[in-house]
Structure 1
Amino acid sequence: MKTLLIRNARLVNEGHITEADLLVRSGRIDKIAPSIDAAADQEVDANGQWLLPGMIDDQVHFREPGLMHKGCIATESAAAVAGGITSFMDMPNTRPPTLDLQALAGKKAIAARDARANYAFHFGVSNGNIDTVAALDPREVAGVKVFMGASTGDMLVDDPATLERLFATVPTILLAHCEHTPRIRHKESLWRKRLGSKVPMAAHPHIRDAEACWLSSSMAVDLARRHGTRLHVLHITTARELELFEDKPLAEKRITAEVCIHHLMFDSRDYPRLGSLLKCNPAVKSPEDRTALRAALRGNRIDVIGTDHAPHTLEEKSGDYFSAPAGLPLVQHALPALMELVHDGVIDLPTLVAKTSHRVADLFGIVDRGYLREGAWADLVLVGPRSPNAAEDPVLARCGWSPFAGYRFRSRVNTTIVSGQIAWHDGALRPDCRGQPLTFER
């Protein structure tokens, strides 16, 4: 690998912002110092830009195999590096779903060939594969994902005995999507009786409401406490759910929580403008919920920020309320969107870095990533101000659209470096960059 020297950067790392140079050798951070007098194969003058550890996204749906008309590992990881994401963990609800070791190996082989960012995969749970889950090597998967609420296909686990056994025997971190299916189906039936197929998209947070989230997430937390499970509850959307999580350091917790970008950036007032483009599960909810989620970022109830990137084609999204699928493409605008929270004073930049990089690495036990440290892998992002005259970036995700279309972010990802390789620079992809498999210390 070529050596790379980044000069005149403002490093954001472990709670501090410092001016320094950074030297990359053999894919890793070789030296950090106020000034580095060394020759390198490549040099980048940061000119005062922020240098961050790359975002580690704990929840994406890159759609491969089986759903590649929506996206694939090659296209979606390209969008990810453009958005400052250097590592991703892909979810198991593909076709076929990742419910056995053969499916897991197949996805790893695709990523080794095509991923532009570092990669790992979550393993899925069904009512019929608990023996396989219990026998997993924790180092071979990012985590185990359970849909405890409404989902599709074979991945909804709704049998109480199966859930008890899962929480008692899962050998690694358990990630839970929490929505209460019976309540959702009841609410759907009420709206359908009133309006038939004319149910508006604005009804989504009333159908998949706060109570549906609470019923499921509180059950998951109760199961985890009884069984001592290492539980990570995904995409928290309501103020009430925050009560389930302790406001203390990550190292002192066995139950953690994630919030996603769209639940921080949008609220129910955006449905009339975005319609089905904002439809996601769990739903974007009230302004009060969004305010509570943002405030929780300043403490320790919310541990990490993810995207839940879930692309669908515009044709698919053009259906009515019941037929339009749920999910948004979000990776390409991940860091620029989150930087808006910094510009608006919601959180400071070191806190953002902690919740997108440091704590993700710590929570999942990822080896040598998530920090700007000598010896660590060089997963780096240079973020600077966006020119007021900059043209809007083309959407790199295969679906071709973004909920942020027309939004003028105040920051821009100028350079993304993955395992020491420049993956994105000055608005262009570097086609030869390939990510590496994440490794876990468990």
Structure 2
Amino acid sequence: MKTLLIKNAQVVNRGQIRAADVLVKNGRIEKIAGTIDAPADQEINAEGLHLLPGIIDDQVHFREPGLTHKAEIYTEAKAAVAGGVTSFMEMPNTKPPAISQGKLQEKYDRAAAVSVGNYSFFMGAANDNLEEVLRTDPKTVCGVKIFMGSSTGNMLVDDARTLEALFAKTPMLIATHCEDEATVRANEARYREQFGEDIPVEYHPIIRDVEACYKSSSFAVELAKKHNTRLHILHISTAKELDLFRNDIPLAEKRITSELCVHHLYFNSEQYATLGTQIKCNPAIKGPEQQAALLPALLDNRLDIIATDHAPHTWAEKQNTYFGAPSGVPLVQHSLNVMLEYYHQGKISLERIVEKMSHAVADCFLIEGRGYIDEGNWADLVLVDLNKEWTVSKDNLLYKCGWSPFEGHTFRGQVQSTIVSGHLAYHHGQFDESKKGERMRFTR
């Protein structure tokens, strides 16, 4: 593998920013010092740029297999890397779903062949696959995903005995989508009576409301406390749920952790009027009062990490009426940009963005050798020009679905280069796909 020397960077790592050179050799960070004079196959002058650890996104839907008209591992991994995401953890609700060891392995094999980013895949839980779940290797798989709410195919786990067994017996991290199905169905029935099948999309956060989220999340927390399960609750979207999480102990000591997704932070229900089903997702984007509670909770560590829940659908699918338009938003190419917008507004520091998008994700999932710019770690690195302005357009979108709710928006801050496991995978708008990403490993 080529050696790479990054000169004159502002290195953001472990709560500090310092000027340094970084030497990469054999895929890993060989040396970090004020000045490094060493021969290298490639050299980047990073004067005026900030060097961040690669973002690790713990929740994406890349739609392969079975839904590749929307997205595929190849295209979405490229979009991720262009946005500074060097590693991703992908969800099991594909067609067929990854609810057996065989189907899970097929996804790993596919990623090894086509993904420019590092990868891991969740094992999916269903009402009838407990034995398959228990065979999952904690050292080579990021976790087990339980949908405690509406989902694709045979993946809604709503049997109480199954849930009890999963929380009692699963020896690794369980990640949950928490929305109470009965509450959602009752709300749907109420508004169907009023509007029929064409419910205005503005009612989405009323149908998938605060109580639906809290009832399910609190039940998951109750189960986890009962069985001392390692629980990670995905995409928190309400102020009420924040009381379920602690911030009085370090992340390394937590058995129950939480995630904030960028769309719940960035959008609120007032934008359904202009964006409509583009921002229809589950859990729903809710009112300004719910949105306003999320950033303070991230900053005080009740919310532990930032992710995307990247979930693309075609533009045509999104143009359907309320029940016909699928839930999900393409986001993985722009998550760092969203957070840099808050940085430029003075609402979060660069060091805290790195903590929540890289360090804390590595710590939460016990990822081996990633998430920090440390000597000996894998070289997952992102060079960013914090002041470069650029406008999102169809010409620079890399999602297979070809659209984004950010189209026309000008961001300040642009990824210049992305290094994935020591390989310069993306540089000034161009990809080098001669080397694929690595399968992530875990120190459990």
- Relative to the length of structure 2, the TM-score reads 0.98
Correspondence 1:88 to 2:88: yes
Q: Is the 8 A contact 1:422 1:433 kept in 2?
A: no
Q: Is the 8 A contact 1:418 1:433 kept in 2?
A: no
Aligned twin of 1:36: 36
Aligned twin of 2:312: 311
Displacement after TM superposition at 1:187 (Å) = 0.6
The 3 A distance-change label for structure 1 pair 51 and 317 is same
Displacement after TM superposition at 1:128 (Å) = 0.2
Where 2:166 maps in the other structure, the secondary structure is helix
Where 1:184 maps in the other structure, the secondary structure is helix
Where 2:410 maps in the other structure, the secondary structure is coil
Displacement after TM superposition at 1:156 (Å) = 0.4
- The answer to which of 346-355 and 131-140 deviates more is 131-140
Aligned twin of 1:161: 161
Aligned twin of 1:323: 324
The 3 A distance-change label for structure 1 pair 334 and 143 is same
Correspondence 1:66 to 2:66: yes
Q: Which amino acid aligns with 1:418?
A: V
- The answer to which of 70-79 and 145-154 deviates more is 145-154
Aligned twin of 1:434: 436
Deviations 1:169-191 (A, max 9, x none): 01100000000001101111111
Deviations 1:322-358 (A, max 9, x none): 0100001101111111111111122111111111111
How far, CA to CA, are the matches of 1:391 and 1:290 in structure 2? 23
How far, CA to CA, are the matches of 1:413 and 1:269 in structure 2? 30
Displacement after TM superposition at 1:140 (Å) = 2.9
How far, CA to CA, are the matches of 2:244 and 2:403 in structure 1? 35
Q: Is the 8 A contact 2:91 2:121 kept in 1?
A: yes
How far, CA to CA, are the matches of 1:391 and 1:207 in structure 2? 31
Q: Which one of 386, 406, 409 corresponds to residue 408 of structure 2?
A: 406
Aligned twin of 1:336: 337
**Structure 1 stretches of at least 4 aligned residues deviating more than 4 Å after TM superposition:** 388-393
The 3 A distance-change label for structure 1 pair 65 and 352 is same
Q: Which amino acid aligns with 2:410?
A: R
Aligned twin of 2:379: 378
Where 1:88 maps in the other structure, the secondary structure is strand
Deviations 1:5-29 (A, max 9, x none): 1111111100101111111111111
Aligned-CA RMSD value: 1.2
Deviations 1:181-240 (A, max 9, x none): 011011111111101123111111000001100000000000000110000000000011
Aligned twin of 1:269: 270
Q: Which amino acid aligns with 2:218?
A: S
Displacement after TM superposition at 1:388 (Å) = 4.3
How far, CA to CA, are the matches of 2:56 and 2:251 in structure 1? 16
Q: Calculate percent identity across the aligned residue pairs.
A: 55
Aligned twin of 1:144: 144
Displacement after TM superposition at 1:316 (Å) = 0.6
Q: Is the 8 A contact 2:63 2:72 kept in 1?
A: yes
How far, CA to CA, are the matches of 1:386 and 1:114 in structure 2? 32
How far, CA to CA, are the matches of 1:342 and 1:390 in structure 2? 18
Where 1:394 maps in the other structure, the secondary structure is coil
The 3 A distance-change label for structure 1 pair 362 and 338 is same
Q: For structure 2, which runs of at least 5 residues remain unmatched after alignment? A: none
Aligned twin of 1:418: 420
How far, CA to CA, are the matches of 1:72 and 1:428 in structure 2? 20
- The answer to which of 11-20 and 428-437 deviates more is 428-437
Q: Which amino acid aligns with 1:271?
A: Y
Displacement after TM superposition at 1:136 (Å) = 2.2
Q: Is the 8 A contact 1:257 1:302 kept in 2?
A: yes
Aligned twin of 2:259: 258
Q: Which amino acid aligns with 1:228?
A: N
How far, CA to CA, are the matches of 2:275 and 2:389 in structure 1? 25
Q: Is the 8 A contact 2:392 2:408 kept in 1?
A: no
Displacement after TM superposition at 1:317 (Å) = 0.5
The 3 A distance-change label for structure 1 pair 12 and 319 is same
| Count of aligned pairs | 442
Displacement after TM superposition at 1:371 (Å) = 0.3
How far, CA to CA, are the matches of 1:390 and 1:277 in structure 2? 18
Deviations 1:64-123 (A, max 9, x none): 111100110000000000110000001000111111110011001000000010001100
How far, CA to CA, are the matches of 1:424 and 1:140 in structure 2? 26
How far, CA to CA, are the matches of 2:353 and 2:388 in structure 1? 22
How far, CA to CA, are the matches of 2:417 and 2:287 in structure 1? 35
Displacement after TM superposition at 1:377 (Å) = 0.5
- The answer to which of 12-21 and 40-49 deviates more is 40-49
Deviations 1:352-371 (A, max 9, x none): 11111111111111111000
How far, CA to CA, are the matches of 1:391 and 1:175 in structure 2? 32
Aligned twin of 2:97: 97
Displacement after TM superposition at 1:151 (Å) = 1.7
Displacement after TM superposition at 1:311 (Å) = 0.4
Q: Which amino acid aligns with 2:96?
A: P
Where 2:59 maps in the other structure, the secondary structure is strand
Displacement after TM superposition at 1:387 (Å) = 3.7
Deviations 1:24-57 (A, max 9, x none): 1111111100111112111111112110000000
Q: For structure 1, which runs of at least 5 residues remain unmatched after alignment? A: none
